Amino acid sequence: MSYILSTTSFVEVLKLPILVDHYLEHDESFLEFMVHHYGGHEKDDDWDRDMQLPFMTGSALMIFAFNIPVSHMAPKPVSALIDPDSRRIMDDSHFSSNYLSDVFQPPKSC
């Protein structure tokens, strides 16, 4: 079973000053600026400048993939946990151990 993790490149965070500078160049509210630039706008006079903004290019992802063998994740079948004669659960790994309960006792006077 494969799991894929995606993380944003730190380069996109470094582009935040460009976002602020470009916002100050426009005579719009911040919401209008964001909708104009990140809402799928067409090419305009400052297209090259727009492409310098964070998250405008698709090359900002690093992908890591790793595999976990299914045998380590597969649960035990129910028939292996239940004694067919008494219909009781044989696996007591779900219950707490009395070994650790000795640690949590009130102090004793000597």
- Over 80: is that where the pLDDT of 22 sits? yes
DSSP letter string, 75-109: PPPHHHHB-TTT--B---TTSPPSTGGGTS-----
24 vs 92, more confident: 24
Does the predicted model carry a pTM greater than 0.75? no
Q: Confirm if 62 and 5 have CB atoms less than 8 A apart.
A: no
Which 3 state secondary structure label does DSSP give 8?
Answer: strand
Residues 40-78 pLDDT 10s: 777 888 888 888 888 887 654 556 666 666 665 666 666
